[in-house]
């Protein structure tokens, strides 16, 4: 395979990972390659090993994050890629919380392992009743060591958020709230099967503040089907008038788990350009605010304003204990795993006292180093040689001399000022060239699949732009 063919392979790999809605850009290797079956015993051993490695970590940056997934929603939005489904039945929610308790009991996580970050996500965690919220939070506090937890964050929907629910969350020590607004344009919401009146968003925000939360983030999306630049401006302006602490934006990417993608729809080059224009408008408006109380969380250095679980996981490969249906787990240098996709089987097995069926991928020091490089180079375009050595105890230029040598021949990488840096300002190039560090064995797996399904890659440039621009 010559250089041009190898880069084309990396483009195809970037396309497949970008379109994957199961955390392909978050985990190494992507979850759609996790084919091996694992048992509860395997998982317990993995967490014991991860705990020992965390204790021995010279950098102190390898820690544990606890993520609890609530899959229930008011409706299934056409842009949503998460594991979720409409269900507002309180009795079924109560059964789910009981199953979470059983899952945690069977997992038997190492006693004394300190949890650095705790997130409740979904789905829509605030869809739970007040009674079930109290049960869930009590369960977590009894089961895990949250004494040194630096952030306890929860995602909520603007729909049906009562003051009592927010008081329950605050009394349980939750200290960051992220409100999923996405858009305030009625036409956009309707075309994406989402119901969310403006007054509901305002009431929700007031209830959050009334409970005493001092860190409130609002999530918005750019490039939604039916969204215009003007409607995005109006939404952002309305949100800024509420004065949240941060406003985060997420580009709509038609991943393969979205109803949008599954219905056969795709983004055009015009759609992608409009999405980029919205992102640029966000940066312009947020930069113009100056010392305003509302900030762009991507530019702040204040830890309380960041999503710390994402920060530690993506920057330092920290472990994530995923609890609940749809939650994915990463035990550092030991194991990645996820539960089977059948919700009824998840409930059935736990109700009978058995752990859910699992698939996953064994990890070691090499896979952790590759994950670190791929993520850092894709997102930032550079890696600190000193930081790599601090975390892994090795020299990156020695461990990955073949990959670095290949990129040097292409004049696409340089080592300067203790930084390993891709020689490109194009985000898409960063995504493609970073995939070289996936390693020959994994790239060969992709190559075999790509060779059998060449027809999938006819519109690869447009799909790459849809995933990453």
Q: Give the number of domains in the chain.
A: 2
136 plus 12 within the same structural domain: no
* Count of beta carbons in the 10 Å neighbourhood of residue 302: 11
Strand extents, DSSP E, 223-312: 246-251
Question: Is residue 342 in a domain?
Answer: no
pLDDT digit string, tens, across residues 290-307 = 777 788 887 777 888 889
129 plus 245 within the same structural domain: yes
Domain holding 18, by residue range, is 3-24+364-468
166 plus 234 within the same structural domain: yes
71 plus 138 within the same structural domain: yes
Residues in contact with 300: Cβ distance below 8 Å, sequence separation at least 6, in sequence order? 246, 306
Residue 387 in contact with residue 418, Cβ under 8 Å? no
Residues in contact with 337: Cβ distance below 8 Å, sequence separation at least 6, in sequence order? 34, 38, 43, 46, 328, 329, 331, 358, 359, 360, 361
56 plus 15 within the same structural domain: no
147 plus 191 within the same structural domain: yes
Question: Is residue 32 in a domain?
Answer: no
Please report the pLDDT score of residue 24 as a whole number.
62
122 plus 212 within the same structural domain: yes
371 plus 309 within the same structural domain: no
Residue 402 CA to residue 423 CA, distance in Å, equals: 17
Supply the CATH number for residue 441's domain.
1.10.10.920
Q: Average pLDDT for consecutive 10-residue bins of the chain (469 residues)? A: 90 93 77 94 96 76 91 94 94 98 97 94 96 97 94 94 96 97 96 88 96 96 97 96 95 95 96 97 92 79 86 89 96 95 97 97 95 94 94 94 96 96 95 95 88 88 93
Residues in contact with 52: Cβ distance below 8 Å, sequence separation at least 6, in sequence order? none
63 plus 16 within the same structural domain: no
Strand extents, DSSP E, 291-418: 319-323, 328-331, 335-339, 358-362, 382-384, 413-416
**Chain centroid to CA 137:** 22
Supply the CATH number for residue 268's domain.
3.80.30.20
Please report the pLDDT score of residue 21 as a whole number.
80
**Domain termination site, one of 314, 329, 353:** 314
Please report the pLDDT score of residue 59 as a whole number.
62
Q: pTM of the entire structure?
A: 0.95
Radius of gyration for the alpha carbons in the chain, expressed in angstroms and rounded: 22
391 plus 309 within the same structural domain: no
Question: Is residue 321 in a domain?
Answer: no
122 plus 217 within the same structural domain: yes
């Amino acid at each position: 395979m010559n250089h041009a063919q190898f880069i084309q392979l990396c483009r195809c790999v970037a396309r497949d990972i970008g379109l994957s809605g199961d955390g392909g850009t978050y985990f190494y290797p992507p979850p759609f390659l996790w084919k091996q079956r694992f048992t509860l015993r395997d998982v317990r051993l993995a967490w014991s090993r991860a705990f020992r490695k965390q204790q021995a970590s010279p950098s102190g940056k390898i820690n544990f994050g606890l993520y609890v997934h609530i899959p229930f929603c008011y409706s299934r939005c056409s842009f949503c890629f998460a594991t979720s489904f409409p269900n507002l039945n309180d009795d079924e929610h109560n059964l789910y919380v009981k199953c979470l308790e059983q899952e945690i009991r069977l997992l038997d996580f190492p006693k004394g392992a300190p949890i650095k970050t705790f997130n409740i996500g979904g789905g829509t965690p605030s869809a739970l009743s007040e009674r079930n919220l109290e049960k869930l939070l009590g369960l977590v506090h009894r089961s895990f060591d949250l004494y040194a937890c630096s952030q306890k964050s929860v995602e909520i929907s603007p729909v049906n958020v009562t003051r009592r629910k927010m008081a329950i969350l605050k009394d349980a020590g939750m200290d960051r709230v992220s409100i999923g607004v996405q858009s305030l344009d009625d036409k956009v919401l309707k075309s994406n099967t989402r119901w969310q009146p403006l007054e509901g968003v305002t009431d929700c925000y007031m209830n959050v503040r009334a409970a005493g939360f001092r860190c409130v983030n609002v999530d918005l999306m750019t490039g939604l089907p039916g969204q215009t630049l003007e409607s995005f401006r109006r939404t952002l302006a309305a949100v800024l008038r509420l004065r949240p602490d941060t406003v985060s934006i997420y580009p709509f990417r038609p991943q393969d788990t979205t109803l949008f993608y599954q219905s056969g729809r795709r983004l055009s080059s015009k759609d992608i350009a409009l999405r980029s224009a919205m992102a640029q408008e966000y940066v312009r408006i947020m930069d113009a605010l100056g010392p305003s109380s509302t900030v762009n969380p991507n530019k702040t250095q204040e830890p309380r304003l960041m999503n710390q679980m994402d920060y530690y996981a993506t920057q330092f490969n920290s472990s994530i204990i995923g609890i609940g249906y749809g939650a994915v787990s990463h035990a550092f240098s030991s194991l990645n795993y996820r539960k089977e996709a059948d919700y009824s089987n998840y409930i059935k097995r736990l109700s009978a006292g058995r752990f859910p069926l699992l698939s996953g991928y064994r990890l070691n020091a090499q896979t952790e180093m590759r994950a670190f490089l791929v993520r850092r180079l894709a997102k930032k375009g550079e890696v600190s040689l000193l930081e790599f050595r601090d975390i892994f105890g090795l020299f990156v230029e020695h461990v990955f001399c073949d990959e670095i040598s290949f990129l040097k021949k292409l004049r696409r990488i340089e080592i300067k000022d203790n930084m390993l840096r891709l020689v490109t300002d194009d985000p898409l190039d960063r995504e493609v060239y970073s995939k070289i560090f996936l390693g020959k064995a994994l790239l060969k797996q992709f190559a075999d699949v790509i060779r059998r399904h060449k027809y999938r890659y006819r519109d690869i440039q447009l799909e790459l732009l849809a995933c990453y621009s």
